[in-house]
């Protein structure tokens, strides 16, 4: 299976939200990483067929998703940033309703809903109304609804928002397993989630893919751009104003800064092994302390 993105663009008047991006995706987990306004959600909505591109096409196994129509939607699972739900439905009722909309026979749907509620750790509250759920619980229902039809292409926009660390780890493991033979695309601001499970990272800025590769390959691109500098505690504030500081820690009367820069920021600075977060901060220097 292959999902091909061919010179895909989306314009809103003079604003270019997505600018002729191309990629070929085969089974695996793809992490879409970028700042707010980078074009991630617009791209995902086009991949789902919700938004019509200004130009370019998306193909599944060589066939346009527009031509495939319902055939494509049958193999697609999607979790938007803000998914709608009926607050007076129980978790089970809501998932059964969506199963009916997806054309899943009721007996099969009942078994699938039970499996998914257990998978997202909500089996014990399946008869409770959604309006009583916490934000994290609602997010887990959103994840479950995206998996109802056992999709071949799973697209998730900020899926770990609202999840606590234990839930995030559980979900990452689920996605990693699912991506063994399915195409999984997830967008998130949580760099550690991408670093933990993504087979390939698509770094998006101003509507374009500025980098594509494995997390290790991308981290290698940040080599020579990450430095550690020890300064008197009183100077740390000055460095934060003039440089991209990824991290700082206090050691006695000194402060140790992790600085992202093309050149050695100070003659006493020493090079560091880069992490994926460093590459993110290199491309998005205004977003400090991710």
Please give the span between the terminal C-alpha atoms of the chain, in angstroms, as a whole number.
34
Measured CA to CA, the distance from residue 179 to residue 172 in angstroms comes to 10
Rounded mean pLDDT of 6-29? Answer: 96
Domain harbouring 201, CATH code:
3.40.50.300
Q: How confident is the model at residue 286 (pLDDT cuts 50, 70, 90)?
A: low
Whether 143 is in a domain gets the answer yes
Whether 279 is in a domain gets the answer no
What predicted TM-score, i.e. pTM, was given to this entire model? Answer: 0.87
Burial 109-118 (b: 16+ CB within 10 A, else e): beebbeebbe
Tell me: do 89 and 135 sit in the same domain: yes
Residues 6+ apart with CB under 8 A from 133: 91, 125, 141
The domain containing residue 241 runs over which residues?
A: 224-273
Tell me: do 239 and 204 sit in the same domain: no
Nearest partner of 135 among 154, 112, 161, judged by Cα = 161
Longest dimension (CA), the chain: 70
Whether 89 is in a domain gets the answer yes
Coil vs helix vs strand at 152: coil
Q: Domain tally for the chain?
A: 2
Per-residue pLDDT of 117-126, as tens digits, reads 999 999 999 9
Whether 151 is in a domain gets the answer yes
Rounded mean pLDDT of 142-162? Answer: 92
Per-residue pLDDT of 255-281, as tens digits, reads 999 999 999 999 999 999 999 999 888
Rounded mean pLDDT of 102-115? Answer: 95
Nearest partner of 25 among 6, 52, 12, 10, judged by Cα = 6
């Amino acid at each position: 299976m292959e999902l091909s993105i061919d010179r895909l663009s989306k314009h809103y008047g003079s604003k270019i939200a997505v600018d002729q991006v191309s990629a070929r995706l085969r089974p695996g987990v793809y992490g879409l990483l970028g700042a707010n306004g980078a074009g991630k959600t617009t791209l995902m909505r086009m991949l789902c067929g919700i938004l019509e591109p200004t130009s370019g096409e998306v193909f599944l196994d060589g066939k346009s998703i527009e031509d495939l129509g319902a055939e494509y939607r049958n193999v697609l699972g999607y979790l938007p940033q803000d998914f709608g739900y009926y607050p007076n439905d129980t978790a089970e009722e809501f998932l059964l309703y969506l199963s009916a909309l997806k054309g899943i026979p009721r007996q099969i749907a009942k078994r699938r809903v039970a499996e998914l509620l257990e998978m997202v750790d909500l089996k014990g509250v399946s008869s409770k109304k959604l309006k009583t759920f916490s934000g994290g619980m609602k997010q887990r229902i959103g994840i479950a609804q995206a998996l109802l039809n056992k999709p071949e292409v799973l697209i998730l926009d900020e899926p770990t928002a609202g999840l606590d660390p234990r839930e995030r780890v559980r979900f990452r493991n689920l996605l990693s397993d699912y991506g063994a033979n399915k195409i999984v695309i997830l967008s998130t601001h949580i760099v550690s989630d991408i670093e933990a499970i993504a087979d390939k990272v698509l770094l998006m800025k101003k509507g374009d893919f500025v980098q594509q590769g494995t997390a290790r390959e991308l981290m290698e691109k940040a080599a020579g751009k990450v430095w550690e500098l020890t300064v008197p505690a009183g100077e740390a504030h000055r460095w934060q104003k003039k440089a991209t500081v990824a991290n700082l820690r206090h050691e006695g009367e000194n402060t140790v800064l992790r600085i992202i820069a093309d050149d050695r920021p100070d003659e006493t600075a020493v090079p560091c092994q880069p992490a994926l977060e460093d590459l993110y901060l290199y491309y998005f220097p205004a977003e400090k302390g991710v």
